[in-house]
Chains A and B, each alone.
Chain A
Amino acid sequence: MTATKKSEQRSMNPTHTESSREEFEETPTWTAVVTVLGYAILSALGWLRDFLRNVGLEEKKTSHDPNPKDFVPLYQSYECFYTRNLYTRIRDVFNQPIASVAGAKVDVMERVSDDFNWTFKFSGKKIPSINLGSYNYLGFAENSGPCSNQAIKSIEKYGLTTSSTRHELGTQKYMVELETLMAKYLSVEDCIAFGMGFATNALNIPALAGKGDLIISDTLNHTSLILGARLSGAVIRKFNHNDMKDLETELRNAIIHGQPRTCRPWKKILIIVEGVYSMEGSLCKLPEIIALKKKYKAYLYVDEAHSIGAIGSHGRGVVDYWNVSPDDIDIHMGTFTKSFGSAGGYIAGKKSLIDHIRIHTHSGCYCPSMSAPIVYQIISALSIIMGLDGTNDGQKRIKQLARNVRYFRRQLVDMGFIVYGNDNSPVVPVMIFMPAKIAAVNREMLKRGCAVVTVGFPATALTESRVRFCLSAGHTKEMLDDALKAMDEVGHLVSLRYSKRNPPLRWNELNRTDYENEYFSC
């Protein structure tokens, strides 16, 4: 087990009055040992239970293959070991269904299980909770208001789908409107939009890179980026998360030694990074990456799924936050799911790039174009953010989010929790390390009216389970206070105050006036 790298970076950012810090405190050694011990005990128990099931002393609760026995088994037993023995124990904590709009408050449907999470029944009860798990950064997940009114009008005018692809009869006027507006928002030449964010990466990276190209990607990149890179046929190399020295070494080695075996020079090199990493809460070091990219003549692809709308003083993502020129990034990519309350993804950049993608994208020939209400939700959310609707609602939301982020994060840190990531990232991961606590934190927070997301292995490293808060502009100060109170109690109950830098404090021991002044003065 490796302890997390301790990296602290102060960066002076011209768009913010304070410097922003990004830190990842080291895992306390004792905690790491106990965590691994916990997994070992769970695995040992798992082997014992598997043995009992195979021998027949315990009932096998998994479903059975309807095919005859002489078929090759569909799943190897060891592949499902984790699912059977670890995941099922805490299965009630994931896939929790909701019965309302996924806004700042949400109704979680209560599920009960009689057989330790193998099967669930709905009790019929709904638990109203503060929603700290959905990606709703600017609070556009609303079921009333200008955005949903526009969406409803568009259903009446256009129906739900064209049932045709972009290359055939699927290009409606509203698609052109969305793409033009998005290009204006990002200050680039052109933009193209797709119906699914995951597919935007998986279906378009193959159009940009191919055999003879090199893709250098951050180790913590999202699955869709990795799938797209694999499908492209290019060679993939990784560099340590946000480690600029490692990236430079990879670039130098790539150019000096060329392709493996033949040593031919690479046709082109593509660096893929994300704006905000959703599990770490870290921001990519964009100015340094751009400097490297220019020095070594590589191309840069930035996936702003979690940063567009949520970061930067005008909500324009990491480009806005770091105050770099949009032309320095070759391919801007992002999704509409998080900050715009809709669905889909986009790619933006120079017109020549977008024309090429229009011709070669897989979704141009084989996927229907976006649904009208989805597009109109984005268009109206964008108009609000850009201030084109004549109000300053957009700016208010952006400021509210920034204020919420700083308020929430600072109090968590001061209470003694280990919080990862950048001070300004709307994703706030708090470390819990031990596997049993993943379930405990989630259940206890739900009892106190907060719906949170807890994740463990394999979404994170083995010893780095965490609870990940996603803040929203829709959260009021009262909601945040309730959430902090709940976290304070749960942290005390389950012992989550691991930080060695800050002493463990209860919430009522914090200096409340300090925070309130800061909150209201932002």
Chain B
Amino acid sequence: MGSSMTRGDIESLATDFYDLLESFKHAPFYHISFEIFLVLAVIWLVFFRKPRAIEKKLTEREKQELIDEWQPEPLVPPVDPNHPALNVRVLDGIVGKTVEIDGKKSLNFATFNFLNFVGNSRISEKAIQAVQKYGVGSCGPRGFYGTIDIHLELEERLAKFFNCEEGIIYSYGFSTIASIIPAYSKRNDILFVDEGVHYAIQKGVEASRSHVKWFKHNDIQDLERLLAEQEVLDKKNPKKARTIRRFLIIEGLYVNYGDICPLPRMVELKYKYKYRIFIDESVSFGTIGQTGRGVTEYYDIDRQKIDLISSSLEYSIGSIGGFAVGSSFVVDHQRLSAQGYCFSASLPPLLAAAAIEALNIMEEQSTPLFETIMSKSKRLHKKLLSIKGYSVMGDEISPLKHLRLANALNTIGRLEEIVQFAQTRDITITVARYLTDEHLLPEPSIRLILNVEMTDEELEFLCTVLQEALVKVTS
């Protein structure tokens, strides 16, 4: 039966409520605080306590069973014995303009010997003198008696060559950029990186643990889009934005593509969006620009606007190692923070001596040498374009080009056939090799590298052989 509240009931309810309030007024303080505490405790228990994870309370026997049952995978998965890395060509001699394979001499378009410094007698002489003075190894990291006067000389010479305040050298090209990026960019920072950068930069970016924003290769519009998006986020939280460092990581001349970065526009955007530019000029140093000073010279951009230029001594210079140049403000930090610098033995002095001599030659021969390499690259590019059936990737003045088969015929198998055929005609070329976990694996290609000492006849011969190979492979 539905009971309806009578007037009397309501009155008694009101009286009870009033009595309750009165009792609160008269209750002792400790009583009230205890009640409030109980109420709060109930609210916490119901709404806020996280359910405790159920702990595994295993018996000793169960634990032992788990340990006995566990089977690890083999240390390494089975390998394919036909993998190209296990069947490489073994050479025995100087790998210069020509290379001897299986007793036959062939023209070498496969190694990064742009200025033909490999086997150069002046450089070898200086290296020998260095061995007679310093021995072979440097026996220590830079911090503990591994700094030899010849390292300091090389750093000064590189800084002077680029007209920057300071230079720093590393003992391995890969470790150079891979140690530089994590030294500046930490977890909270943002890196804008071109998708087509080479593997060492990808590893540096990974080691830094920063937020990475990849933009399409050489696509300025895509970069501007990402920058604009970030600006919107910054406006929402300006206080946080003041603590996030931003960097743009690009290459001067991309190893994987052969094209040059659109630097002028990137420098303009630098001052608009306030990021710092790190360029890796491993390939463009010693190949591009009137005196070989890289993309900054090619575009005639003031080097003070670039925060750091890193490069390698392993390509044009024909030695081993890497270096970075820039303002003292930026470069000096690496001496305590770059892992590949602080925790590694320093560059063997003979390789530093070789690099100094190579720099001497570059400065002596200067403009004629670099104009030669740029014009030969242009001529080679034209000749390659005239062969129907190939597509050529790379800037016309770049001495590094990627050759692919046109018309959807491009596979590694066919390219390997072309390489093998070329070898029978005494031309050594190579398919570009990558690891499978690259960020953006480039399409298969033959990486052609021009040596400045190649004559026009030799370039003509190369094109003839490539044409014949094409006919053989596509028939």
A interface list, Cβ under 8 A from B: 62-68, 70-76, 83, 87, 94-103, 106, 108-109, 131, 133-136, 140-144, 147-148, 151-152, 155-173, 176, 195-199, 202-203, 208, 222-224, 227, 230-231, 252, 255-257, 265-269, 296-299, 330-331, 335-338, 340-343, 352-353, 355-360, 362-368, 371, 373-374, 377, 451, 453
Q: A72-B244, A364-B85 are in contact. Are A142 and B91 (CB under 8 A)?
A: no
Which of B94, B172, B206, B328 has most A Cβ within 10 Å? B172
**What's the minimum C-beta distance from B58 to chain A, rounded to whole angstroms?**
7
Answer whether residue B271 sits at the interface, using C-beta atoms and an 8 A cutoff.
yes
A159–B145 touching, CB < 8 Å: no
A268–B430 touching, CB < 8 Å: no
Among A64, A143, A170, A224, contact of B133 (Cβ-Cβ < 8 Å): A143
Q: A63-B327, A268-B73 are in contact. Are A362 and B67 (CB under 8 A)?
A: no
Contacts of B319 in A (CB 8 A): 160-161, 371
B83–A199 touching, CB < 8 Å: no
A359–B86 touching, CB < 8 Å: yes
Answer whether residue B389 sits at the interface, using C-beta atoms and an 8 A cutoff.
no
A143 to B134, CA, bound (A): 6
**What's the minimum C-beta distance from A428 to chain B, rounded to whole angstroms?**
14
| Closest residue of B by beta carbon distance from A360 | B435
**What's the minimum C-beta distance from A431 to chain B, rounded to whole angstroms?**
18
**What's the minimum C-beta distance from B350 to chain A, rounded to whole angstroms?**
6
**What's the minimum C-beta distance from B378 to chain A, rounded to whole angstroms?**
23
B72–A297 touching, CB < 8 Å: yes
Contacts of B258 in A (CB 8 A): none
Answer whether residue B110 sits at the interface, using C-beta atoms and an 8 A cutoff.
yes
A335 to B140, CA, bound (A): 12
Answer whether residue B266 sits at the interface, using C-beta atoms and an 8 A cutoff.
no
A338 to B86, CA, bound (A): 30
Contacts of A162 in B (CB 8 A): 91, 95, 111, 118
Q: A72-B274, A160-B318, A208-B76 are in contact. Are A171 and B88 (CB under 8 A)?
A: yes
Contacts of B269 in A (CB 8 A): none
| Closest residue of A by beta carbon distance from B81 | A355
Q: A166-B88, A169-B89, A173-B90 are in contact. Are A365 and B354 (CB under 8 A)?
A: no
Answer whether residue B370 sits at the interface, using C-beta atoms and an 8 A cutoff.
no
Contacts of B274 in A (CB 8 A): 70-72
Contacts of A63 in B (CB 8 A): 165, 327-329, 332
**What's the minimum C-beta distance from B367 to chain A, rounded to whole angstroms?**
24
A368–B140 touching, CB < 8 Å: no
Contacts of B200 in A (CB 8 A): 366
| Closest residue of B by beta carbon distance from A263 | B56
15 contacting pairs across A/B (C-beta < 8 A): A66-B329, A72-B243, A75-B333, A98-B148, A98-B149, A155-B124, A163-B315, A196-B175, A198-B340, A208-B76, A266-B72, A267-B73, A352-B79, A362-B199, A366-B174
**What's the minimum C-beta distance from B62 to chain A, rounded to whole angstroms?**
8
Give the interface size class of chain B.
35 or more
Which of B67, B140, B203, B246 has most A Cβ within 10 Å? B140
A343–B345 touching, CB < 8 Å: yes
B79–A169 touching, CB < 8 Å: no
**What's the minimum C-beta distance from B107 to chain A, rounded to whole angstroms?**
13
A196 to B339, CA, bound (A): 13
| The 9 A-B residue pairs with the shortest CB-CB distance in the complex, in nearest-first order | A198-B344, A356-B76, A159-B119, A196-B172, A164-B111, A134-B139, A377-B136, A268-B72, A101-B135
Contacts of B333 in A (CB 8 A): 74-75
A198 to B174, CA, bound (A): 11
Contacts of A330 in B (CB 8 A): 75
A142 to B140, CA, bound (A): 14
Answer whether residue B402 sits at the interface, using C-beta atoms and an 8 A cutoff.
no
Contacts of B67 in A (CB 8 A): 252, 255-256, 296
Which of A106, A109, A158, A336 has most B Cβ within 10 Å? A158
Answer whether residue B242 sits at the interface, using C-beta atoms and an 8 A cutoff.
yes
| Closest residue of A by beta carbon distance from B132 | A143
B135–A367 touching, CB < 8 Å: no
A343–B137 touching, CB < 8 Å: yes
Contacts of B246 in A (CB 8 A): 72
B90–A102 touching, CB < 8 Å: no
B66–A256 touching, CB < 8 Å: yes
Which of B138, B246, B304, B345 has most A Cβ within 10 Å? B345
**What's the minimum C-beta distance from A450 to chain B, rounded to whole angstroms?**
12
Answer whether residue B29 sits at the interface, using C-beta atoms and an 8 A cutoff.
no
**What's the minimum C-beta distance from A479 to chain B, rounded to whole angstroms?**
16
Q: A83-B336, A252-B63, A268-B72 are in contact. Are A136 and B139 (CB under 8 A)?
A: yes
A169–B207 touching, CB < 8 Å: no
Contacts of A155 in B (CB 8 A): 124, 127-128, 131, 350
A165 to B447, CA, bound (A): 13
B345–A373 touching, CB < 8 Å: no
| Closest residue of B by beta carbon distance from A82 | B336
Answer whether residue B173 sits at the interface, using C-beta atoms and an 8 A cutoff.
yes
Extra A-B contacts (15), CB below 8 Å, given A102-B148, A155-B131, A337-B345? A109-B149, A143-B134, A148-B132, A162-B111, A167-B85, A168-B430, A171-B91, A172-B91, A198-B345, A222-B343, A256-B66, A269-B72, A296-B67, A362-B203, A367-B174
Answer whether residue B226 sits at the interface, using C-beta atoms and an 8 A cutoff.
no
Chain B contacts with A in 423-442, Cβ cutoff 8 A: 428, 430, 433-435
**What's the minimum C-beta distance from B18 to chain A, rounded to whole angstroms?**
56
B94–A157 touching, CB < 8 Å: yes
